[in-house]
Every structure is written in C-alpha cells, then in structure tokens.
Amino acid sequence: MKVFGIKPVVEALRAGRVTALTISTQRRIGLGELLQLAGESRIRIKRAGRRELDQLVGGQQHQGVVATVRPNRAATLLQLTAASNQSLIVVLDGIEDPQNFGAIARVAEAAGAAGLVVQTRRSAPVTGAAVKASAGALAHLPVVSVVNLPRAIGELKAAGIWAVGLDSDAEQSIYSVDLRVPLALVIGAEGRGLRRLVREKCDWRVSLPMMGLVTSLNASVAGGIALFEAVRQRSRPTA
C-alpha cells in the first residue's frame, strides 16, 4: 500500500511499517524528522520528479513524499477486548467515505481507543487517502473487519463491553450515561444513521444535545465529541 503526505509517512515510520520511500527532487524543507526516522530504520530513499510521484498516488496531494508500507496485521475482536481492562472500542456502521473514516480513526487514536471495528461491506477500506485523512493514526490503530456487524457487537457484549450507539433520535443525552465502563461506541453513517439490527444490539442509544437550528453533525465530529466525553469521564478521580 502507498501512504503519502509528510505526517502520515512519519507515523508509518514510527510504526515500523515503511519498506521504501520516494521523495520529490524538489522537496528540501520540512523533512528533518522524516529523514531521521528513515535513517534510523535504514529505509531506502529514492528521489523522483513530481510526475512520477503523482502517478504513484493517482494524482492525490502527496506533499512530495510517498512511502510503500506493510499492511497492519489483521486484528481480532479478542485482541481488542484484551487490550485494556477499561476498553474503548469504536464500531463504524456504514462509514464509506475515506475522509470521514480517516478523521474518525484520528480522533479514536487520540482518545486512546483500542481499535476500530468495521463491516467488510459498506465500509471505507484502509487506503492511502484514508491514512492521510487520519494524519497517520491508521498506522497505529488496529482495524478489525467483520462479516456481520450486529453479531460482532453481540460478541463484544458477551466479553463485558457495553455498546453505546450514537443516534440523533435518541431521547437520552450522552452526558447522562456512564462512559467509564468498558465501552464500544457505535457510529452510523451520515443521513442513514445506525441500521436497525445494529441499533437493536446497543445497550444504550444516546444523542448529542443540539442547541441551534442544525439538527445533525458530521459523523467524525459527533464521534469526536462522544469519544472525548468518555475521556473526560474516565479522567475524573474515582470516589
């Protein structure tokens, strides 16, 4: 897989996943950390013209840096639930846009989530565009792909994880729910929201209080608010 952009490539280097690196002959500044990490890992560096880099990534914005990376090892639900006694897992139901997918991955990693759970179908793949949108977070964050998402949520619940679904129609506010428990936050697609079978698997359905005229938020924004409400609650001293 090709990863492009300075920050995503730096994170891929930190994760030890880069096997080759191509840098534009015109790129001379802003590469200090990247070159240092590449040197420490003894990564082969090739210099190329802009046209060649454009061809490598299909014309997407690459900032003069393109890396070939090894894919993440396929993670399992068991590995995610074993990651912490107070798990925080993000479940994505139908997030097909790579920008949204990457943005959610970025905030999930920043919030300390153990990983993402997605359905094999109806989900954006982990591509260079998604990695760039995640600012490199997908280099560190395990992604578990499952065939049946409602069944996977059931397996998480059987392992002691509580499923909380973001639902704009829910009467219960996210601020009234205890998010300090082992938690799977379920985020649905924009417009459609959570599918019925996924919604029915959730222990709680919660909404974000909307104070203005706009009735909904971008999925990544809503997910970020919810994730950092969990962070806020977990950072409170226990009685």
User: Stretch 197-220: mean pLDDT, rounded?
Assistant: 89
pLDDT tens, 80-94?
887 655 689 999 999
Q: How do 88-93 and 183-188 pair as beta strands?
A: parallel
pLDDT higher than threshold 70 for residue 238: no
State how far the alpha carbon of 95 is from the alpha carbons of 124, 181, 209, 222, in Å. 6, 25, 22, 13
* Distance between CA atoms of residues 77 and 172, nearest Å: 28
What confidence tens digit (pLDDT) does each residue in 14-38 have? 989 899 999 988 877 788 899 999 9
Q: Mean pLDDT lowest for which of 46-60, 99-113, 190-204?
A: 46-60
CB 20 within 8 A of CB 46: yes
Cα–Cα distance measured from residue 72 to residue 2, given in angstroms and rounded to the nearest whole number: 13
Where does 2-69 sit in CATH, by number? 3.30.1330.30
DSSP 103: H
Please report, for the chain, the start and end positions of each structural domain, with discontinuous segments joined by +: 2-69, 77-235
Q: Report whether pLDDT(125) > 90.
A: no
- Is the pLDDT at 159 greater than 70? The verdict is yes
Distance CA 130, CA 3 (A): 9
Report the pLDDT averaged over residues 139-153: 94
Average of per-residue pLDDT across 205-218: 85
- Tell me the C-alpha distance between 155 and 14, whole Å: 32
Mean pLDDT of 190-213: 90
* pLDDT at residue 239 in the model: 53
**pLDDT tens, 47-100?**
988 888 888 888 788 988 999 998 777 788 888 887 655 689 999 999 999 999
Q: Which CATH superfamily is domain 77-235 in?
A: SPOUT methyltransferase, trefoil knot domain (3.40.1280.10)
